[in-house]
Amino acid sequence: MSSDRYAIIGLNATVSLLTRYRITLIDKAATIEAAVNVLAKAAPPNTIKGVYIVSNTDFQTCRRSVEAVQNAGYTVVELVETLRFSISSMIYNLPLNPTNAFRGY
């Protein structure tokens, strides 16, 4: 790999390259496959270190996104599920109000 470039496929099939700056290649592609084709032309697999896929959708859509990226030849693929982060942040911000039942009374 020749550089420290990463690709991000965001919500609405927006593709960006990250180096020292963020460069958006395509915004709101018609399909994830179309977004990956744009990425492959601008940054072939041997020129970037990895691809991050940001998703807040169902399992099948996430799977289709990962498969499209892998089929294009990218081997380092990370899925970032924003829904998990949202749920985790809500759980961690909950106040702990134990009841008597849990105090052993």
The predicted-structure confidence for 2-35, as pLDDT tens digits, reads as follows 468 899 998 888 898 888 877 888 788 888 899 9
Owner of token pair 């996104």 = 65
Its sign, for the CA torsion 76, 71, 62, 6, is positive
Contacts of 11 (CB under 8 A, 6+ apart): 54, 55, 56, 82
Neighbours of 60 (CB within 10 A): 8
Phi/psi for 63 (5° steps) reads: -60, -45
Amino acid at 41: K
pLDDT tens per residue across span 50-84: 999 988 777 888 889 999 999 999 999 998 887 77
pLDDT tops 50 at residue 102? no
Contacts of 76 (CB under 8 A, 6+ apart): 49, 50, 51
Q: How far apart are alpha carbons 62 and 94 in whole angstroms?
A: 29
Q: What are the residues facing 30 on neighbouring strands?
A: none
Tell me the whole-structure pTM to 2 decimals.
0.74
Which tokens in the block code for residue 49?
Answer: 């270190």
